[in-house]
Amino acid sequence: MDVRALGYIGVHAADLGAWTTYAEAIGAMAVASPDDDRLLLKIDDRPYRVIVEQSTNGRGLAYAGWEFADQRALDRAVAELESAGFQVQSSSPAQRAQRRVAGLALTTDPSGFSLELFWGPILDHERFRPPHGGSGFVTGDLGLGHIVLGTPSGRAAVEFYTDVMGFRVSDYWRPGDAEVVFLHCNARHHSLALAPGGEPALYHFMFETRTLDDVGYALDRHDELGIPVSQGLGRHPNDEMVSFYSRSPSGFDVEIGYGGRLVDDATWTVTEITKPSLWGHHRAGEHASG
């Protein structure tokens, strides 16, 4: 299976108004949807990269949209999923119109996360205008960024994404008896990470800015707008991202970072990291030595 990128995600939210303000803090355009129960976040030439879904019951990830090259690639993916014993639902014209894609198929991973496999994003040719200027975000062939999911399925989830979906392991982090697996589907160090969890959960999604200054400006906007920062500025050892973590109105985090490492499958070797950050990423109220 040839997944090209994380194309989009949908997330649950009880308060769309809070997400409008939050979009300003993280540097995304908040675009009103024809439906009153949705808010679209635009960060590049796509009509959206995040759909914020009005929901009083759900929290976290509503669905993840994984992109394929064309209809043939999507058809092959569907056949491979069904051959591996996974049910795949076809989409309706209304669903494809809502997602603004040419082709769409729906399935569920072993942890219960809803996956949307698609091809042919339909562009609106509206220019992305960062609400406070800035240089924009690193997307294109690398997709929107990455997501980190808490999964109760453990090894079954890893095997699904590697053996069935065709992701490649970038590296591991094994704190205690746990195992966090970082997976890539293109040159971005990871588009997906899987961490052990009691219940399926979206831990965070990541946007990558084009300059380090844009990370700093976003950090300043959080202070100005009173948006909580859950982890301060720091740098990861594996993807080398300099970033901070922001607490979204839905309760999960959003990582805003710069300088992500790229993977070349021809030369890449899998390693294990032994700490999540080289420096920084201190949690709110935590001292540097804490």
pLDDT digits 0-9 by tens, 196-216: 988 899 999 999 999 999 999
Average of pLDDT values for 31-49? Answer: 89
The pLDDT, as a whole number, for residue 286 is 67
pLDDT for res 290: 43
Q: What is the pTM of this model?
A: 0.95
Q: How far is CA 167 from each of CA 107, 150, 216, rounded to the nearest angstrom?
A: 17, 17, 32
Residue 16 has pLDDT above 60, yes or no: yes
Residues with Cβ within 8 Å of 108's Cβ and at least 6 positions away in sequence, in order, are 86, 87, 114, 115
State the fold for domain 5-121: 2,3-Dihydroxybiphenyl 1,2-Dioxygenase; domain 1 (3.10.180)
The gap from C-alpha 67 to its chain's centroid, in whole angstroms, comes to 13
Mean pLDDT value of segment 73-101: 96
Q: Please report the beta strands in 85-145, taking only residues with DSSP state E, as ranges in sequence order.
A: 89-90, 101-108, 114-121
Q: Does residue 77 register a pLDDT over 70? A: yes
* Pick from 49-63, 95-109, 112-126, 239-253: least confident: 49-63
Residue boundaries of the structural domains of the chain: 5-121, 140-280
DSSP 219: H
Task: Please compute the mean of the pLDDT values over residues 96-119 and round it to a whole number.
Answer: 97
Look at residue 289 in the predicted model and tell me its pLDDT.
45
- Looking at the DSSP bridge assignments, the partners of residue 184 are 168
Residue 87: count other Cβ atoms within 10 Å of its Cβ.
9
Domains 5-121 and 140-280 are alike in CATH topology: yes
The mean pLDDT value for 79-83 works out to 98
Which residues touch 75 (CB under 8 Å, ≥6 apart)? none
Per-residue pLDDT, 32? 83
First to last CA, the chain: 44
Q: Check if the beta carbon of residue 81 is closer than 8 Å to that of residue 88.
A: yes
Give the DSSP per-residue string, 130-176. Answer: -BTB---B--GGG-S-EEEEEESSTHHHHHIIIIIS--EEEEEE--T
CATH class of segment(s) 140-280: alpha beta
State whether residue 106 is helix, strand or coil: strand
Per-residue pLDDT of 151-180, as tens digits, reads 998 899 999 999 999 999 999 999 998 999
Answer for the pair 53, 11: CB distance below 8 angstroms, yes or no: yes
